[in-house]
Structure 1
Amino acid sequence: MTAPGPDVVLREYGPAVSVPLGAAAGRALAASGVLQSVTPDPAQDGHWLLRAGSHVGALRTPGGPVVRILPKTPVSRIFFLLGFSLDPERAWRDDREGTVDTGTYDDVVPALAHAVERRVDAPLRQGVLQGYREVEESSLVVRGRIRESDQIRRHFGRTPPVEIAYDAYTADTAENRILRGAVERLLRLPGVPGPVRRRLAHQRVRLADALPLVRGQELPRWQPSRLNSRYQPALRLCEAVLRGSSPEHLLPGADPLAVDGFLFDMNQLFEDFVTVALSTALKEQGLAPRPQDSHHLDTAGLVRIRPDLVVRTLDGRTPVAVVDAKYKVEKADGRLNADLYQALAYATVLGLREAHLVYAAGREPTRFHEVRGTAAGADGGGLRLYRHSVDLAREPRQLLSTLRDIAALLTRACSSA
């Protein structure tokens, strides 16, 4: 069996790279859908052309090389966006990049592994959280209460064994199972540095009394409380790891050939950041933001539209503005006119005087287009379509300031509605 070659390095939305791959590995990578394009290289037998899209991170196919996708945005900024989306209240108070500690790593998977290990280590240094959990089992001695119906059904009333149920004070809690699941997920990933891998293994030993998660089952549910407050930052990040973009695909009718790794979808991450930041700021202004507020374009209800954010009055009844986030550079060459048509459709369906597009970068911080043929509003103008730019290359404090300015503009829309 041929050993996997060296890592393949792609760049987010970068040019295609020709890579030696077996046919099965190439088909598995194409079926995974995590790259923008995966096609046989017509110029070289046994090679495939790989081009990355919006996903960044690392993945691998058995027998193939590890594919690393480097982001355009600095890794520290990516984890600031992630940390803000997970815990906006803390981020508003402390808008430094240290919201999620990525160490000195400038690649996604090493930074993620380091961040999770640091977050998990902090609460475990104070001891592993324990709690009560109901246990049902067969036993030779009576403990707790006898499950009479199970006793009769399974043993026809004979004893022992006895079907019992009792509350056990244990470390096998939902919180510890989530932490252990995230640690084990990261230990399986390619590209985790040796020192970080050893620290993750140490955390797994600490969490050994928690049962491992079962693949395919829902994550255990936990409720925020005073008792688990020290766990909460770690739990939010670990749930993001376990629910994140972790491709595992099998080709139908073929031998098991998995594509495995961890990837951030920058489209989704930017959308989450913009939505959470604007929602948090708008709530402080007495408005009711509604993320993913679904509507229909047509009267028959056949065409569904779902803006990223609909801003409503405090009672939630009246929409006053709509926002859609776009992880791309706003340009003036006509190629993004479809975004304006989309925003116009949102405003028309909701009966609004304005709609807002928020881009990851652009030529100007804010500008607007006034739509011809629309009735004049209180300000004397017609329907306006705004374009905003949130440059991810800027410092976190500047990013948050830009989002606050956009929230203030949305608040003014409410007062003039």
Structure 2
Amino acid sequence: MMHTASARSVSPPAAERTPPPIELAEHASAKPIPLDDVTGRALAASGLVEVTPDPYLPGHWRVKAGRKVGVATVTVPGSRTVTVRITPKTPIARLLFLLGYSLDPKGWRNDDADLASEPDLLPALARLFARQAEHALRQGLLQGYRRTEETSLVIRGRILEGEQIRRQHGRLIPIEVAHDEYTTDITENRLLRTASDRLMRLPTIPPAGIPTDARACVLRLRARLADITPIGCGHEIPAWRPTRLNARYHRALRLAELVLRGFSVEHRTGDVTVSGFLFDMAKVFEDFVTVALREALADQPGRCAFQDGQHLDEHGQIRIVPDFVRYAEDGTPLAVADAKYKAEEPDGFPHTDLYQMLAYCTVLGMSEGHLVYAKGNGPHAAHRVRRSGIVIHQHALDLDQSPAGLLAGIRDLALRLDSSLIAAG
């Protein structure tokens, strides 16, 4: 009896225990999860998933994933945490292709995305990043020139006359100078360092966390980049330019950008903190469709605009933003398209998308508009709007096919978008 009492005395109260990871699938039905009220309310406040009290099971909450996929940790009041893992419907290899192609359509290699054996996104991307980063640093850290402005006791570079007057008020020393410093603390290394830091902050949570071997590789990478300045949280990811000098870094940098994009979900809502690695599948699909359409039309005259802001009304108060607009060289709109990630509605397409495209066509003066859905084996449909002459086309792009098949589908779609290309064909 004394032994039993002792065991009970050291057990934390049920409300203070860390709940097990919540396993969800993208856009699947809600699952009843045993959670205390504090954790349930905190999870609902995070906006990560849809959470409501279960009316039939006391002490349970119904949790449903939306379009975000990946793994995240929600810290609730009292320093307790709950981990949520959301697996995508799209195969991991295909998802990595969509992400990578959007960043670098010419440089992304299909064999990089050949990770069919990986069941989860984060382990696959961590292994890929670690492997490519180690390859990039095999010849040592890249060096380059970085512009530095500082207050100095000696003249180095050139004097910043305006800053000298504003800060020193006529004094001869110290001196405000600017100079180019040859250093390893450049944008390319900072991106690798920051991506490594973010990955190391995630726990090893099988199967969705960082695998032990990949974590060890990232740790070695982090040690090699210890003297590099990381990019602060909340700061914009700095731009880098592919050159001959940083060629061995290209693939590692593209992967670092993917890692940092996935960590952009970190935020705080009141007493609830959300941190993790998540991608919005609607944004992933939109980025892929728009970039791939631009590449498919690259040899044709004209230009393509993404997220091209327009106004519905004459006073400019109602803003509309088509995902993709193709213009002729003289600025005349040639085609308009919108990407719709509607994997959760396999039986049909909502009418609101048609109304939205009708508004785009009206404002742009287009006789045709195109809606592109992420849906396998769906029929192509066309709707002629009464008394307007506008035809709205619906296209279905099957994501469950090879990269070559996806790009072939985009090329076919590009031909349908541009009536001049159809006439030429």
Q: What TM-score do you get using the length of structure 2 for normalisation?
A: 0.84
Q: Are positions 1:205 and 2:223 aligned together?
A: yes
SS of 2:202's equivalent? coil
Superposition RMSD in Å: 3.0
CA gap 1:329/1:72 in 2 versus in 1, 3 angstroms: closer
| Match in the other structure for 1:43 | 56
Q: d(CA) in 1 for partners of 2:38 and 2:169? A: 49
Which of residues 335, 348, 355 is equivalent to 1:341?
Answer: 355
Which of residues 287, 309, 315 is equivalent to 1:294?
Answer: 309
Letter in 1 for 2:407: L
Which of residues 385, 397, 405 is equivalent to 1:398?
Answer: 405
On the 8 A contact 1:330/1:362 being kept in 2, the answer is no
Note the alpha carbon deviations across 1:165-192, whole angstroms, 9 max, x for none: 6543221111101110011111112411
| Match in the other structure for 2:92 | 75
Q: d(CA) in 1 for partners of 2:239 and 2:184? A: 15
Which of residues 80, 87, 90 is equivalent to 2:107?
Answer: 90
CA gap 1:129/1:372 in 2 versus in 1, 3 angstroms: same
Note the alpha carbon deviations across 1:283-329, whole angstroms, 9 max, x for none: 2222322111111112222211111111111x151112111111115
Letter in 1 for 2:92: V
| Match in the other structure for 1:113 | 126
Q: d(CA) in 1 for partners of 2:137 and 2:68? A: 32
Q: Are positions 1:243 and 2:255 aligned together?
A: no
Q: Are positions 1:66 and 2:73 aligned together?
A: no
| Match in the other structure for 2:374 | 360
Q: d(CA) in 2 for partners of 1:229 and 1:358? A: 35
Q: d(CA) in 2 for partners of 1:193 and 1:280? A: 35
Q: d(CA) in 2 for partners of 1:6 and 1:193? A: 19
Q: d(CA) in 2 for partners of 1:3 and 1:39? A: 21
SS of 1:42's equivalent? coil
Letter in 1 for 2:83: V
Q: d(CA) in 2 for partners of 1:401 and 1:180? A: 37
SS of 2:416's equivalent? helix
Note the alpha carbon deviations across 1:94-150, whole angstroms, 9 max, x for none: 6x3x244647321011112112212322211122101223445677x8573697949
CA gap 1:276/1:164 in 2 versus in 1, 3 angstroms: closer
CA gap 1:131/1:49 in 2 versus in 1, 3 angstroms: same
Which of residues 354, 364, 373 is equivalent to 2:387?
Answer: 373
On the 8 A contact 2:94/2:113 being kept in 1, the answer is no
Question: 1:12-31, aligned counterparts within 5 Å?
Answer: 12-31=26-45
| Match in the other structure for 1:379 | none
On the 8 A contact 1:101/1:115 being kept in 2, the answer is no
Question: 1:181-330, aligned counterparts within 5 Å?
Answer: 181-190=194-203, 191-244=209-262, 246-252=264-270, 254=271, 257-313=272-328, 315-329=329-343
Letter in 1 for 2:85: R
Q: d(CA) in 1 for partners of 2:360 and 2:82? A: 44
CA gap 1:19/1:246 in 2 versus in 1, 3 angstroms: farther
On the 8 A contact 1:132/1:167 being kept in 2, the answer is yes
Q: 1:371, CA displacement in angstroms?
A: 2.5
| Match in the other structure for 1:377 | none
On the 8 A contact 2:293/2:414 being kept in 1, the answer is yes
Task: Give aligned-pair identity as a percent.
Answer: 47
| Match in the other structure for 2:6 | none
On the 8 A contact 1:102/1:114 being kept in 2, the answer is no
Q: d(CA) in 2 for partners of 1:208 and 1:105? A: 30
CA gap 1:132/1:362 in 2 versus in 1, 3 angstroms: closer
Q: Are positions 1:410 and 2:423 aligned together?
A: no
On the 8 A contact 2:144/2:183 being kept in 1, the answer is yes
Q: 1:214, CA displacement in angstroms?
A: 1.8
On the 8 A contact 1:143/1:165 being kept in 2, the answer is no
Q: d(CA) in 1 for partners of 2:394 and 2:158? A: 66
On the 8 A contact 1:312/1:320 being kept in 2, the answer is yes
Q: Any stretches of 5+ residues in structure 1 without a counterpart?
A: 375-381
Q: d(CA) in 1 for partners of 2:149 and 2:306? A: 41
| Match in the other structure for 1:178 | 191
Letter in 2 for 1:203: L
Note the alpha carbon deviations across 1:255-289, whole angstroms, 9 max, x for none: xx422111010000001111110111112222322
CA gap 1:282/1:135 in 2 versus in 1, 3 angstroms: closer
Q: What TM-score do you get using the length of structure 1 for normalisation?
A: 0.85
| Match in the other structure for 1:144 | 156
SS of 1:250's equivalent? strand
On the 8 A contact 2:92/2:119 being kept in 1, the answer is yes
| Match in the other structure for 2:117 | 104
SS of 2:326's equivalent? strand
SS of 2:393's equivalent? strand
Letter in 1 for 2:250: Q
